[in-house]
A = this chain, B = another copy of it.
Amino acid sequence: MKRFLDLADFSREEILDLIALACHLESHPEPRVLAGKILGLVMFNPSLRTLSSFQVGMMRLGGSSFVITPGHGTWQLESGIGVTMNGAAAEHVREGLPILASYADALGIRAFAEGKDLKYDLAETNFRAMSAVVDKPLINLESAVNHPCQALADWKTLEDLTVPQRAKFVLSWTNHPRITPMAVPAATVHMAAHRGMDVVVLRPEGYALPPETMDKARVAAAASGGSVRETNDRTEALAGAQIVYAKEWGSITHYGDSVGDAALRAGLADWCVREDWFASASKDCKFMHCLPVRRNVAVADEVLDGPRSIVQREAYNRLPAQMAVLYRLLSNGGTER
């Protein structure tokens, strides 16, 4: 493996094999396999799980890491091509990233959507400009419309709990005080489709995912035997659901327009997941969320603190899932897997 940028780059079998390696490493630690290996983490945006679990993952495999946070202790970095740099950024990613790559054995980059131009973000323009100048193993730590590490951890969580392949998987929009990016919903709908699940995207009017995102998921579903559809009918969507995966995201009809988006979501405060949402769901329906989550805005305490919630397991699974990715990207002297 040279890069881990998108779950769509890997077949269902390759992903299941990666998850098997993650499970193996949980029961059979290999505390020296990445001895001497160094991961550079370039964090353009805040993080809790990604920041900690990648550092810990390297430590648990015997390697080490360093963190660069542009704008906080490091120069702000520009990524536009041909730009006259007379603004806030003191350095261009065309200089900064190859240099960090030359020091490290692999890089991870987190760079959220700019949130101004939907086409620009859907094309991963910014992340592509950065990945083009890195010639070392590279990990996507969340880009404009992708979060493959979260998707892999979530898929592992579904396997851990032996959720059937064709179970009904509902990705539901939830409320949030502001616009948030589409990286996780886009990665999630694709992941569940790629796993072969019957995926329903439940969202209020105005919050449909981009057609490109839905199409990508449908391609995955077609190959795996799953299905993907969308609805704004909460009752219908939740009936028989075996997984409800909640996530906040912004409206594509008001992309980059915080005022328009705020007006649209003003009446949507009841899109906070409560226990009564599960009335007609499968009896053992589980609740998922990638975190961070705003309690009692996006999800009620009763759900997060109740027995349905598997958010802690999802977050914990970031660690073994990413250790498997690091193992594949960086090990050479270890057990051949």
Q: Which residues of A, 75-123, contact B by the 8 Å Cβ criterion?
A: 75, 78, 82-86, 89-92, 94-96, 98-100, 102-104
**Which residues of the partner chain B approach A55 to less than 8 Å between Cβ atoms?**
66
A247 to chain B, nearest CB (A): 13
Residue A36 interfacial (CB < 8 Å): yes
A31 pairs with B36, CB closer than 8 A: yes
A13 to chain B, nearest CB (A): 29
**Which residues of the partner chain B approach A75 to less than 8 Å between Cβ atoms?**
46-48, 292
A100 pairs with B296, CB closer than 8 A: no
A295 pairs with B73, CB closer than 8 A: no
**Which residues of the partner chain B approach A304 to less than 8 Å between Cβ atoms?**
94-95
**Which residues of the partner chain B approach A28 to less than 8 Å between Cβ atoms?**
none
Residue A213 interfacial (CB < 8 Å): no
Q: Which residues of A, 304-331, contact B by the 8 Å Cβ criterion?
A: 304-305, 311-312, 315-316, 319
Residue A280 interfacial (CB < 8 Å): no
Residue A293 interfacial (CB < 8 Å): yes
0/1 string, A42-72, CB within 8 A of B gives 1: 0100111101110110011000101111001
**Which residues of the partner chain B approach A315 to less than 8 Å between Cβ atoms?**
95, 99, 102
**Which residues of the partner chain B approach A84 to less than 8 Å between Cβ atoms?**
295-297
Residue A74 interfacial (CB < 8 Å): yes
**Which residues of the partner chain B approach A78 to less than 8 Å between Cβ atoms?**
295
Assuming the A-B contacts A59-B38, A74-B46, are A296 and B85 also in contact, with contact meaning beta carbons closer than 8 angstroms in the complex? Answer: yes
Residue A301 interfacial (CB < 8 Å): yes
Q: What separation, in Å, do the CA atoms of A83 and B299 have in the docked complex?
A: 12
A295 pairs with B100, CB closer than 8 A: no
**Copy number of this protein in the oligomer?**
3
A76 to chain B, nearest CB (A): 9
Q: What separation, in Å, do the CA atoms of A296 and B75 have in the docked complex?
A: 17
Assuming the A-B contacts A55-B66, A68-B51, are A82 and B316 also in contact, with contact meaning beta carbons closer than 8 angstroms in the complex? Answer: no
Residue A291 interfacial (CB < 8 Å): yes
A305 pairs with B96, CB closer than 8 A: no
B68 pairs with A59, CB closer than 8 A: no
Q: What separation, in Å, do the CA atoms of A16 and B202 have in the docked complex?
A: 61
In the complex formed, the residue of B with least CB distance to A296 is B84
A294 pairs with B74, CB closer than 8 A: no
Which residue of the partner chain, among B49, B82, B86, B92, contacts A177 with CB atoms under 8 Å? B86
Q: What separation, in Å, do the CA atoms of A64 and B316 have in the docked complex?
A: 19
Q: What separation, in Å, do the CA atoms of A293 and B91 have in the docked complex?
A: 5
Q: What separation, in Å, do the CA atoms of A40 and B56 have in the docked complex?
A: 9
Which residue of the partner chain, among B69, B82, B294, contacts A85 with CB atoms under 8 Å? B294
B52 pairs with A100, CB closer than 8 A: yes
A73 pairs with B83, CB closer than 8 A: no
Residues in chain A within 8 A of chain B (CB atoms): 31, 35-36, 38, 40, 43, 46-49, 51-53, 55-56, 59-60, 64, 66-69, 72-75, 78, 82-86, 89-92, 94-96, 98-100, 102-104, 177, 291-297, 301, 304-305, 311-312, 315-316, 319
